[in-house]
Amino acid sequence: TAMQAPGGPSPGQTCVLILIFTVLLQSLCVAVTYMYFTRELKQMQDKYSRSGIACFLKEDDIPWDPYDEDSMNSPCGQVKWQLHQVVRKAPRMKKLWARS
């Protein structure tokens, strides 16, 4: 058996302190990770939003062809493709709304 100094923490107290420290450290890591990814996501949203607005403001002068892979890989090309899909589906949606 190990000799223990009188008045020192018991093994149970030491275990509880280690557990509390571990939980606090994990909480700190989760908070830092959450803040980092939230900031990164915000930057990605801002970048995507700016590129989408640039497409509509004619700041993007690249011609768009839905069958050209390079044009579809650009952020502006993706926005134009999504808009094209919405416009293409609009007459069908109008018919569905008229029925109801």
Residue-wise pLDDT tens for the chain (100 aa)?
455 556 777 889 999 999 999 999 999 999 999 999 999 988 887 776 666 666 666 655 556 666 777 666 666 777 777 777 777 777 766 666 666 5
Written as one letter, the residue type at 49 is S
| Statement to judge: residues 29 and 71 lie in one domain | no
The pTM of this model reads 0.44
Count the domains in the chain.
2
pLDDT at 5: 57
CA quadruple 20, 22, 23, 24: dihedral sign: positive
pLDDT at 89: 74
| Statement to judge: residues 16 and 30 lie in one domain | yes
| 9: Cβ contacts below 8 Å, ≥ 6 apart | 17
Q: For residue 93, is it within any domain?
A: yes
Q: For residue 4, is it within any domain?
A: no
Q: Look up the domain containing 18 and give its range.
A: 10-61
Q: For residue 50, is it within any domain?
A: yes
Q: Dihedral angle at the C-alpha atoms of 82, 84, 85, 91, nearest 10 degrees?
A: 140
| Statement to judge: residues 66 and 51 lie in one domain | no
pLDDT at 1: 46
